[in-house]
Structure 1
Protein backbone atom coordinates (compact mmCIF):
# COMPACT_ATOMS: atom_id res chain seq x y z
CA UNK A 1 0.00 0.00 0.00
CA UNK A 2 1.35 3.42 -0.89
CA UNK A 3 0.89 6.57 1.12
CA UNK A 4 -1.37 7.96 -1.61
CA UNK A 5 -4.04 5.31 -0.86
CA UNK A 6 -4.48 6.40 2.75
CA UNK A 7 -7.56 8.45 3.62
CA UNK A 8 -6.19 11.85 4.67
CA UNK A 9 -6.61 13.26 8.16
CA UNK A 10 -6.92 16.94 9.08
CA UNK A 11 -6.94 17.66 12.81
CA UNK A 12 -7.23 21.09 14.39
CA UNK A 13 -5.24 21.49 17.61
CA UNK A 14 -6.85 24.38 19.46
CA UNK A 15 -4.21 24.26 22.21
CA UNK A 16 -5.18 26.51 25.17
CA UNK A 17 -7.81 28.33 23.13
CA UNK A 18 -10.45 29.78 22.92
CA UNK A 19 -12.80 31.09 25.59
CA UNK A 20 -16.15 29.31 25.83
CA UNK A 21 -18.23 31.77 23.83
CA UNK A 22 -15.66 31.85 21.04
CA UNK A 23 -15.43 28.06 21.05
CA UNK A 24 -19.18 27.78 20.61
CA UNK A 25 -19.04 30.22 17.71
CA UNK A 26 -16.11 28.37 16.15
CA UNK A 27 -18.02 25.09 16.25
CA UNK A 28 -21.08 26.68 14.66
CA UNK A 29 -18.92 28.27 11.97
CA UNK A 30 -17.24 24.94 11.25
CA UNK A 31 -20.58 23.15 11.00
CA UNK A 32 -21.75 25.82 8.56
CA UNK A 33 -18.63 25.34 6.44
CA UNK A 34 -19.19 21.58 6.37
CA UNK A 35 -22.68 22.10 5.01
CA UNK A 36 -21.19 23.20 1.70
CA UNK A 37 -20.91 19.54 0.75
CA UNK A 38 -17.52 19.89 -0.95
CA UNK A 39 -16.01 17.28 1.39
CA UNK A 40 -17.74 13.92 1.19
CA UNK A 41 -17.77 11.34 3.96
CA UNK A 42 -14.70 9.17 3.44
CA UNK A 43 -12.72 11.73 1.42
CA UNK A 44 -11.02 13.21 4.47
CA UNK A 45 -11.19 12.47 8.18
CA UNK A 46 -11.63 15.65 10.21
CA UNK A 47 -10.93 16.14 13.90
CA UNK A 48 -10.66 18.95 16.42
CA UNK A 49 -8.68 18.89 19.67
CA UNK A 50 -10.15 21.38 22.17
CA UNK A 51 -8.91 21.90 25.75
CA UNK A 52 -9.91 19.06 28.04
CA UNK A 53 -12.53 21.17 29.80
CA UNK A 54 -14.46 21.38 26.52
CA UNK A 55 -14.08 17.83 25.17
CA UNK A 56 -17.56 16.56 26.01
CA UNK A 57 -19.40 19.75 25.06
CA UNK A 58 -17.58 20.05 21.72
CA UNK A 59 -18.28 16.40 20.96
CA UNK A 60 -21.98 16.94 21.68
CA UNK A 61 -22.11 20.07 19.50
CA UNK A 62 -20.47 18.23 16.60
CA UNK A 63 -22.78 15.22 16.78
CA UNK A 64 -25.09 16.65 14.10
CA UNK A 65 -22.41 18.05 11.78
CA UNK A 66 -22.87 17.36 8.06
CA UNK A 67 -20.02 14.85 8.15
CA UNK A 68 -18.35 13.06 11.04
CA UNK A 69 -15.94 15.25 13.03
CA UNK A 70 -13.88 13.44 15.66
CA UNK A 71 -13.15 15.08 19.01
CA UNK A 72 -9.51 14.54 20.02
CA UNK A 73 -7.92 14.99 23.44
CA UNK A 74 -4.75 17.10 23.46
CA UNK A 75 -2.97 14.94 26.02
CA UNK A 76 -3.42 12.07 28.46
CA UNK A 77 -2.00 11.11 31.83
CA UNK A 78 0.91 8.71 32.17
CA UNK A 79 -1.14 7.16 35.01
CA UNK A 80 -3.77 4.57 34.13
CA UNK A 81 -7.20 4.06 35.65
CA UNK A 82 -8.51 6.27 38.44
CA UNK A 83 -7.12 7.39 41.78
CA UNK A 84 -5.60 10.18 43.82
CA UNK A 85 -3.83 12.02 41.00
CA UNK A 86 -5.02 15.62 41.17
CA UNK A 87 -5.28 17.33 37.83
CA UNK A 88 -4.74 14.20 35.73
CA UNK A 89 -7.04 12.76 33.04
CA UNK A 90 -6.34 9.10 32.29
CA UNK A 91 -6.92 7.18 29.08
CA UNK A 92 -9.64 5.23 30.89
CA UNK A 93 -11.47 8.43 31.81
CA UNK A 94 -11.26 9.62 28.21
CA UNK A 95 -12.62 6.32 26.93
CA UNK A 96 -15.42 6.41 29.51
CA UNK A 97 -16.41 9.82 28.11
CA UNK A 98 -16.41 8.44 24.53
CA UNK A 99 -13.25 10.35 23.64
CA UNK A 100 -11.28 7.76 21.68
CA UNK A 101 -8.56 9.83 19.99
CA UNK A 102 -5.65 11.57 21.69
CA UNK A 103 -2.54 13.57 20.83
CA UNK A 104 0.63 12.32 22.53
CA UNK A 105 4.17 13.69 22.36
CA UNK A 106 3.47 17.19 21.08
CA UNK A 107 6.64 19.28 21.22
CA UNK A 108 5.01 21.75 23.60
CA UNK A 109 4.38 18.90 26.04
CA UNK A 110 7.95 17.67 25.61
CA UNK A 111 9.61 21.09 25.90
CA UNK A 112 7.41 23.04 28.32
CA UNK A 113 6.03 20.26 30.51
CA UNK A 114 9.03 17.91 30.53
CA UNK A 115 7.39 14.95 28.84
CA UNK A 116 10.49 12.78 28.50
CA UNK A 117 10.73 9.78 26.19
CA UNK A 118 9.84 7.46 29.07
CA UNK A 119 6.82 9.57 30.06
CA UNK A 120 5.60 9.66 26.47
CA UNK A 121 6.01 5.89 26.20
CA UNK A 122 3.94 5.39 29.35
CA UNK A 123 1.19 7.58 27.92
CA UNK A 124 1.23 5.61 24.68
CA UNK A 125 1.11 2.27 26.50
CA UNK A 126 -1.88 3.21 28.65
CA UNK A 127 -3.74 4.90 25.79
CA UNK A 128 -3.41 1.80 23.63
CA UNK A 129 -4.41 -0.46 26.52
CA UNK A 130 -7.58 1.61 26.91
CA UNK A 131 -8.33 1.20 23.20
CA UNK A 132 -7.61 4.78 22.16
CA UNK A 133 -6.28 5.86 18.78
CA UNK A 134 -3.09 7.91 19.12
CA UNK A 135 -1.86 10.78 17.00
CA UNK A 136 1.81 10.60 17.96
CA UNK A 137 3.81 13.79 17.42
CA UNK A 138 7.46 13.85 16.40
CA UNK A 139 9.78 16.64 15.28
CA UNK A 140 13.18 18.25 15.53
CA UNK A 141 14.37 21.66 16.71
CA UNK A 142 16.08 24.18 14.46
CA UNK A 143 19.41 23.45 16.17
CA UNK A 144 18.99 19.74 15.49
CA UNK A 145 18.06 20.35 11.86
CA UNK A 146 20.99 22.68 11.25
CA UNK A 147 23.30 20.08 12.81
CA UNK A 148 22.07 17.48 10.33
CA UNK A 149 20.33 15.48 13.05
CA UNK A 150 16.70 15.91 11.97
CA UNK A 151 16.13 12.40 10.64
CA UNK A 152 17.97 10.78 13.54
CA UNK A 153 15.92 12.71 16.11
CA UNK A 154 12.58 11.97 14.48
CA UNK A 155 13.25 8.28 13.94
CA UNK A 156 14.48 7.96 17.52
CA UNK A 157 11.21 9.44 18.76
CA UNK A 158 9.37 6.70 16.88
CA UNK A 159 11.71 4.05 18.28
CA UNK A 160 11.02 5.45 21.76
CA UNK A 161 7.49 4.03 21.63
CA UNK A 162 8.08 0.89 19.57
CA UNK A 163 8.81 -1.22 22.66
CA UNK A 164 5.35 -0.51 24.15
CA UNK A 165 3.32 -0.94 20.94
CA UNK A 166 2.13 -4.48 20.27
CA UNK A 167 2.17 -5.65 16.65
CA UNK A 168 -1.57 -5.25 16.12
CA UNK A 169 -1.67 -1.87 17.90
CA UNK A 170 0.15 -0.02 15.13
CA UNK A 171 -3.24 0.12 13.40
CA UNK A 172 -4.26 2.56 16.17
CA UNK A 173 -1.40 4.98 15.60
CA UNK A 174 -1.11 8.00 13.31
CA UNK A 175 2.15 9.93 13.13
CA UNK A 176 2.24 13.74 13.03
CA UNK A 177 5.56 15.25 11.95
CA UNK A 178 5.94 18.78 13.28
CA UNK A 179 9.31 20.48 12.88
CA UNK A 180 9.49 22.46 16.12
CA UNK A 181 10.98 25.49 14.38
CA UNK A 182 7.84 25.78 12.23
CA UNK A 183 5.20 25.59 14.96
CA UNK A 184 3.48 28.94 15.42
CA UNK A 185 6.38 30.79 13.79
CA UNK A 186 4.88 31.35 10.35
CA UNK A 187 7.76 29.32 8.92
CA UNK A 188 6.88 26.15 7.08
CA UNK A 189 9.09 23.38 5.83
CA UNK A 190 9.08 23.43 2.04
CA UNK A 191 6.87 20.74 0.51
CA UNK A 192 10.06 19.06 -0.70
CA UNK A 193 11.62 19.01 2.79
CA UNK A 194 8.37 17.87 4.40
CA UNK A 195 7.93 15.09 1.84
CA UNK A 196 11.53 13.97 2.32
CA UNK A 197 11.04 13.63 6.06
CA UNK A 198 7.71 11.87 5.64
CA UNK A 199 9.32 9.41 3.21
CA UNK A 200 12.05 8.72 5.78
CA UNK A 201 9.42 8.20 8.50
CA UNK A 202 7.55 5.83 6.18
CA UNK A 203 10.77 3.92 5.57
CA UNK A 204 11.48 3.69 9.29
CA UNK A 205 7.96 2.54 10.14
CA UNK A 206 8.12 -0.13 7.46
CA UNK A 207 11.21 -1.54 9.17
CA UNK A 208 9.37 -1.62 12.51
CA UNK A 209 5.97 -2.94 11.47
CA UNK A 210 4.34 -4.52 8.40
CA UNK A 211 1.65 -1.84 8.85
CA UNK A 212 4.20 0.90 8.11
CA UNK A 213 2.98 1.55 4.54
CA UNK A 214 -0.60 2.09 5.73
CA UNK A 215 0.00 4.41 8.71
CA UNK A 216 -1.20 7.96 8.07
CA UNK A 217 1.53 10.60 8.32
CA UNK A 218 0.37 14.13 9.05
CA UNK A 219 2.38 17.33 8.63
CA UNK A 220 2.15 20.13 11.18
CA UNK A 221 3.93 23.45 11.47
CA UNK A 222 2.21 26.66 10.34
CA UNK A 223 -0.14 24.80 8.00
CA UNK A 224 -2.61 27.22 6.48
CA UNK A 225 -4.98 27.47 3.54
CA UNK A 226 -2.28 29.12 1.44
CA UNK A 227 0.15 26.18 1.59
CA UNK A 228 -2.26 23.26 2.05
CA UNK A 229 -2.62 22.41 -1.63
CA UNK A 230 1.14 22.05 -2.14
CA UNK A 231 1.53 19.96 1.01
CA UNK A 232 -1.44 17.79 0.11
CA UNK A 233 0.11 16.98 -3.27
CA UNK A 234 3.07 15.22 -1.61
CA UNK A 235 2.64 11.43 -1.78
CA UNK A 236 3.68 10.66 1.81
CA UNK A 237 1.85 13.56 3.45
CA UNK A 238 -1.53 12.12 4.38
CA UNK A 239 -2.99 15.09 6.18
CA UNK A 240 -2.26 17.91 8.57
CA UNK A 241 -2.17 18.73 12.26
CA UNK A 242 -3.27 22.36 12.18
CA UNK A 243 -2.60 24.88 14.93
CA UNK A 244 -3.51 28.56 14.63
CA UNK A 245 -5.42 28.19 11.36
CA UNK A 246 -7.82 25.75 13.03
CA UNK A 247 -9.19 28.63 15.14
CA UNK A 248 -10.70 30.07 11.96
CA UNK A 249 -13.39 27.78 10.59
CA UNK A 250 -13.06 28.94 6.99
CA UNK A 251 -9.28 28.46 6.91
CA UNK A 252 -9.54 25.07 8.60
CA UNK A 253 -12.20 23.96 6.13
CA UNK A 254 -10.06 25.07 3.18
CA UNK A 255 -7.16 22.98 4.49
CA UNK A 256 -9.41 19.94 4.87
CA UNK A 257 -10.83 20.54 1.39
CA UNK A 258 -7.31 20.67 -0.09
CA UNK A 259 -6.50 17.24 1.31
CA UNK A 260 -9.92 15.81 0.45
CA UNK A 261 -9.46 16.77 -3.19
CA UNK A 262 -5.84 15.68 -3.54
CA UNK A 263 -5.90 12.00 -2.62
Structure 2
Protein backbone atom coordinates (compact mmCIF):
# COMPACT_ATOMS: atom_id res chain seq x y z
CA UNK A 1 0.00 0.00 0.00
CA UNK A 2 1.48 3.31 -1.06
CA UNK A 3 1.88 6.26 1.30
CA UNK A 4 2.08 8.75 -1.58
CA UNK A 5 -0.92 10.70 -0.23
CA UNK A 6 0.94 11.42 3.02
CA UNK A 7 2.15 15.03 3.38
CA UNK A 8 5.97 14.86 3.32
CA UNK A 9 8.23 15.95 6.15
CA UNK A 10 11.73 17.37 5.76
CA UNK A 11 13.55 17.56 9.11
CA UNK A 12 17.08 18.84 9.61
CA UNK A 13 19.04 17.02 12.31
CA UNK A 14 21.81 19.43 13.28
CA UNK A 15 23.31 16.92 15.75
CA UNK A 16 26.06 18.57 17.89
CA UNK A 17 26.30 21.56 15.55
CA UNK A 18 26.70 24.51 14.98
CA UNK A 19 27.98 27.35 17.16
CA UNK A 20 25.46 30.05 18.13
CA UNK A 21 26.46 32.65 15.52
CA UNK A 22 26.34 30.07 12.71
CA UNK A 23 22.96 28.82 13.92
CA UNK A 24 21.53 32.33 13.73
CA UNK A 25 22.87 32.72 10.19
CA UNK A 26 21.41 29.36 9.23
CA UNK A 27 17.96 30.25 10.57
CA UNK A 28 18.07 33.67 8.95
CA UNK A 29 19.08 32.17 5.60
CA UNK A 30 16.30 29.58 5.67
CA UNK A 31 13.68 32.18 6.59
CA UNK A 32 14.83 34.40 3.73
CA UNK A 33 14.66 31.57 1.20
CA UNK A 34 11.15 30.66 2.33
CA UNK A 35 10.07 34.28 2.19
CA UNK A 36 11.34 34.82 -1.36
CA UNK A 37 10.12 31.51 -2.75
CA UNK A 38 7.55 29.98 -0.37
CA UNK A 39 6.98 26.28 0.18
CA UNK A 40 3.36 25.78 1.22
CA UNK A 41 2.81 24.07 4.55
CA UNK A 42 0.26 21.73 2.98
CA UNK A 43 2.91 20.60 0.48
CA UNK A 44 5.69 19.86 2.98
CA UNK A 45 6.10 20.07 6.73
CA UNK A 46 9.45 21.48 7.86
CA UNK A 47 11.33 20.87 11.08
CA UNK A 48 14.77 21.51 12.54
CA UNK A 49 16.40 19.61 15.41
CA UNK A 50 19.05 21.82 17.06
CA UNK A 51 21.05 21.01 20.17
CA UNK A 52 19.10 20.93 23.43
CA UNK A 53 20.94 24.11 24.45
CA UNK A 54 19.53 25.99 21.44
CA UNK A 55 15.95 24.63 21.34
CA UNK A 56 14.16 27.64 22.81
CA UNK A 57 16.28 30.23 20.98
CA UNK A 58 15.81 28.55 17.59
CA UNK A 59 12.10 28.15 18.25
CA UNK A 60 11.87 31.88 19.01
CA UNK A 61 13.84 32.76 15.88
CA UNK A 62 11.52 30.68 13.70
CA UNK A 63 8.43 32.35 15.17
CA UNK A 64 8.95 35.27 12.76
CA UNK A 65 9.17 33.04 9.68
CA UNK A 66 6.56 33.35 6.94
CA UNK A 67 5.46 29.76 7.57
CA UNK A 68 5.59 27.22 10.39
CA UNK A 69 8.96 25.54 10.92
CA UNK A 70 8.76 23.08 13.79
CA UNK A 71 11.48 22.76 16.40
CA UNK A 72 12.40 19.16 17.19
CA UNK A 73 14.28 17.87 20.23
CA UNK A 74 17.13 15.48 19.42
CA UNK A 75 16.70 13.51 22.63
CA UNK A 76 14.53 13.01 25.71
CA UNK A 77 15.11 11.49 29.12
CA UNK A 78 13.99 8.04 30.25
CA UNK A 79 12.80 9.87 33.40
CA UNK A 80 9.37 11.48 33.60
CA UNK A 81 8.44 14.86 35.06
CA UNK A 82 10.94 16.78 37.18
CA UNK A 83 13.34 15.89 39.97
CA UNK A 84 16.92 15.31 41.02
CA UNK A 85 18.24 13.97 37.70
CA UNK A 86 21.24 16.08 36.80
CA UNK A 87 21.64 16.70 33.09
CA UNK A 88 18.29 15.20 32.06
CA UNK A 89 15.47 16.82 30.08
CA UNK A 90 12.10 15.09 30.38
CA UNK A 91 9.25 14.95 27.89
CA UNK A 92 7.20 17.11 30.24
CA UNK A 93 9.91 19.80 30.27
CA UNK A 94 9.92 19.77 26.45
CA UNK A 95 6.14 20.03 26.44
CA UNK A 96 6.33 22.95 28.88
CA UNK A 97 8.56 24.78 26.37
CA UNK A 98 6.03 24.10 23.57
CA UNK A 99 8.39 21.64 21.90
CA UNK A 100 6.08 19.14 20.21
CA UNK A 101 8.45 16.78 18.38
CA UNK A 102 11.35 14.56 19.42
CA UNK A 103 13.81 12.20 17.70
CA UNK A 104 14.13 8.78 19.33
CA UNK A 105 16.13 5.75 18.26
CA UNK A 106 18.75 7.38 16.07
CA UNK A 107 21.60 4.97 15.36
CA UNK A 108 24.09 7.30 17.03
CA UNK A 109 22.07 7.07 20.24
CA UNK A 110 21.79 3.31 19.87
CA UNK A 111 25.47 2.73 19.11
CA UNK A 112 27.43 5.46 20.91
CA UNK A 113 25.20 5.74 23.97
CA UNK A 114 24.06 2.09 24.16
CA UNK A 115 20.34 2.90 23.99
CA UNK A 116 18.68 -0.50 23.79
CA UNK A 117 15.05 -1.51 23.35
CA UNK A 118 13.97 -1.05 27.01
CA UNK A 119 15.53 2.45 27.09
CA UNK A 120 13.99 3.46 23.76
CA UNK A 121 10.61 2.10 24.81
CA UNK A 122 10.71 4.20 27.97
CA UNK A 123 11.52 7.29 25.93
CA UNK A 124 8.75 6.61 23.42
CA UNK A 125 6.24 5.92 26.19
CA UNK A 126 7.03 9.13 28.09
CA UNK A 127 7.13 11.26 24.93
CA UNK A 128 3.71 10.05 23.82
CA UNK A 129 2.29 10.51 27.33
CA UNK A 130 3.42 14.15 27.11
CA UNK A 131 1.61 14.44 23.74
CA UNK A 132 4.84 14.78 21.75
CA UNK A 133 5.11 13.43 18.22
CA UNK A 134 7.92 10.88 18.01
CA UNK A 135 10.18 10.68 14.96
CA UNK A 136 11.36 7.12 15.51
CA UNK A 137 14.55 6.12 13.71
CA UNK A 138 15.23 2.63 12.40
CA UNK A 139 17.97 1.17 10.23
CA UNK A 140 20.37 -1.69 9.60
CA UNK A 141 24.15 -1.93 9.57
CA UNK A 142 26.11 -2.77 6.43
CA UNK A 143 26.85 -6.26 7.79
CA UNK A 144 23.16 -6.87 8.46
CA UNK A 145 22.29 -5.77 4.92
CA UNK A 146 25.00 -7.94 3.38
CA UNK A 147 23.73 -10.90 5.44
CA UNK A 148 20.21 -10.41 4.06
CA UNK A 149 18.85 -9.32 7.45
CA UNK A 150 17.97 -5.70 6.63
CA UNK A 151 14.18 -6.08 6.47
CA UNK A 152 14.07 -8.33 9.53
CA UNK A 153 16.15 -5.89 11.60
CA UNK A 154 14.17 -2.81 10.59
CA UNK A 155 10.75 -4.40 11.08
CA UNK A 156 11.83 -5.74 14.47
CA UNK A 157 12.86 -2.24 15.55
CA UNK A 158 9.34 -1.04 14.70
CA UNK A 159 7.72 -4.01 16.44
CA UNK A 160 9.86 -3.24 19.51
CA UNK A 161 7.86 -0.07 20.25
CA UNK A 162 4.44 -1.61 19.57
CA UNK A 163 4.13 -2.69 23.21
CA UNK A 164 4.28 0.92 24.46
CA UNK A 165 2.35 2.72 21.70
CA UNK A 166 -1.38 2.73 22.42
CA UNK A 167 -3.81 2.33 19.52
CA UNK A 168 -4.59 6.03 19.01
CA UNK A 169 -0.98 7.09 19.64
CA UNK A 170 0.22 5.70 16.29
CA UNK A 171 -1.07 8.98 14.87
CA UNK A 172 1.78 10.64 16.80
CA UNK A 173 4.50 8.46 15.22
CA UNK A 174 6.71 9.32 12.24
CA UNK A 175 9.19 6.66 11.09
CA UNK A 176 12.64 7.65 9.79
CA UNK A 177 14.49 4.88 7.95
CA UNK A 178 18.24 5.49 8.05
CA UNK A 179 20.54 2.72 6.85
CA UNK A 180 23.41 3.06 9.31
CA UNK A 181 26.02 2.56 6.60
CA UNK A 182 24.73 5.68 4.79
CA UNK A 183 24.74 8.12 7.71
CA UNK A 184 27.46 10.74 7.31
CA UNK A 185 29.36 8.55 4.85
CA UNK A 186 28.28 10.15 1.60
CA UNK A 187 26.80 6.80 0.58
CA UNK A 188 23.10 6.64 -0.12
CA UNK A 189 20.82 3.69 -0.66
CA UNK A 190 19.67 3.66 -4.27
CA UNK A 191 16.13 5.03 -4.73
CA UNK A 192 15.05 1.50 -5.64
CA UNK A 193 16.53 -0.01 -2.46
CA UNK A 194 15.15 2.81 -0.31
CA UNK A 195 11.68 2.48 -1.83
CA UNK A 196 11.73 -1.31 -1.36
CA UNK A 197 12.50 -0.89 2.35
CA UNK A 198 9.94 1.87 2.77
CA UNK A 199 7.29 -0.31 1.11
CA UNK A 200 8.17 -3.14 3.50
CA UNK A 201 7.93 -0.74 6.46
CA UNK A 202 4.55 0.46 5.17
CA UNK A 203 3.37 -3.14 4.92
CA UNK A 204 4.54 -3.83 8.45
CA UNK A 205 2.86 -0.72 9.83
CA UNK A 206 -0.47 -1.61 8.23
CA UNK A 207 -0.32 -4.95 10.02
CA UNK A 208 0.33 -3.25 13.36
CA UNK A 209 -2.08 -0.32 13.22
CA UNK A 210 -5.08 0.92 11.20
CA UNK A 211 -3.13 4.19 10.86
CA UNK A 212 -0.31 2.43 8.99
CA UNK A 213 -1.18 3.91 5.60
CA UNK A 214 -1.13 7.45 7.05
CA UNK A 215 2.19 7.33 8.90
CA UNK A 216 4.96 9.35 7.27
CA UNK A 217 8.09 7.31 6.54
CA UNK A 218 11.15 9.49 6.02
CA UNK A 219 14.46 8.51 4.44
CA UNK A 220 17.75 9.53 6.02
CA UNK A 221 21.34 8.80 5.11
CA UNK A 222 23.34 11.39 3.18
CA UNK A 223 20.28 13.05 1.66
CA UNK A 224 21.34 16.06 -0.41
CA UNK A 225 19.89 18.23 -3.20
CA UNK A 226 21.53 16.01 -5.82
CA UNK A 227 19.55 12.91 -4.83
CA UNK A 228 16.44 14.46 -3.25
CA UNK A 229 14.32 14.61 -6.42
CA UNK A 230 14.84 10.90 -7.16
CA UNK A 231 14.12 9.92 -3.57
CA UNK A 232 11.05 12.16 -3.42
CA UNK A 233 9.61 10.48 -6.52
CA UNK A 234 9.36 7.14 -4.67
CA UNK A 235 5.75 6.54 -3.55
CA UNK A 236 6.52 5.35 -0.02
CA UNK A 237 9.26 7.89 0.79
CA UNK A 238 7.37 10.66 2.56
CA UNK A 239 10.23 13.04 3.23
CA UNK A 240 13.74 13.14 4.61
CA UNK A 241 15.65 13.30 7.86
CA UNK A 242 18.61 15.40 6.74
CA UNK A 243 21.98 15.46 8.48
CA UNK A 244 24.96 17.38 7.08
CA UNK A 245 23.01 19.06 4.27
CA UNK A 246 20.68 20.67 6.84
CA UNK A 247 23.62 22.81 8.06
CA UNK A 248 23.45 24.73 4.79
CA UNK A 249 20.26 26.76 4.38
CA UNK A 250 20.20 26.54 0.59
CA UNK A 251 20.81 22.79 0.51
CA UNK A 252 18.11 22.15 3.10
CA UNK A 253 15.69 24.40 1.25
CA UNK A 254 16.33 22.61 -2.07
CA UNK A 255 15.65 19.23 -0.43
CA UNK A 256 12.38 20.55 0.98
CA UNK A 257 11.52 21.98 -2.42
CA UNK A 258 12.12 18.60 -4.06
CA UNK A 259 9.68 16.84 -1.77
CA UNK A 260 7.07 19.62 -1.92
CA UNK A 261 7.11 19.69 -5.71
CA UNK A 262 7.18 15.94 -6.25
CA UNK A 263 4.28 15.26 -3.92
Whether TM exceeds 0.5 here: the answer is yes
The answer to whether the 8 Å contact 2:2/2:199 transfers is: no
Deviations 1:10-45 (A, max 9, x none): 000000000011111111011111112341121100
Distance in 2 separating the partners of 1:138 and 1:236: 15
Structure 2 counterpart of 1:117: 117
The alpha carbon displacement at 1:120 in A equals 0.3
Structure 2 counterpart of 1:172: 172
The alpha carbon displacement at 1:216 in A equals 0.2
Where structure 1 has 5 or more consecutive residues not aligned to the other structure, the ranges are none
Aligned 1:30-41 pairs, distance under 5 A:
30-41=30-41
The answer to whether the 8 Å contact 1:71/1:99 transfers is: yes
Greater Cα offset, 80-89 or 226-235: 80-89
Structure 2 counterpart of 1:69: 69
Structure 2 counterpart of 1:234: 234
* In the alignment, structure 1 residue 19 sits paired with structure 2 residue 23: no
Give runs of ≥4 in structure 1 deviating > 6 Å: none
The alpha carbon displacement at 1:2 in A equals 3.9
Distance in 2 separating the partners of 1:95 and 1:119: 20
The alpha carbon displacement at 1:64 in A equals 1.2
Q: TM-score, normalised by structure 2?
A: 0.99
Q: Report the number of matched residues.
A: 263
Aligned 1:1-263 pairs, distance under 5 A:
2-263=2-263
Distance in 2 separating the partners of 1:2 and 1:112: 34
Distance in 2 separating the partners of 1:148 and 1:85: 42
Distance in 2 separating the partners of 1:41 and 1:145: 36
The answer to whether the 8 Å contact 1:2/1:214 transfers is: no
Distance in 1 separating the partners of 2:213 and 2:40: 24
Distance in 2 separating the partners of 1:141 and 1:36: 40
The answer to whether the 8 Å contact 2:14/2:48 transfers is: yes
Where structure 2 has 5 or more consecutive residues not aligned to the other structure, the ranges are none
Deviations 1:144-191 (A, max 9, x none): 000100000000000110000000000000000000000000000000
Distance in 1 separating the partners of 2:160 and 2:78: 15
The alpha carbon displacement at 1:66 in A equals 1.4
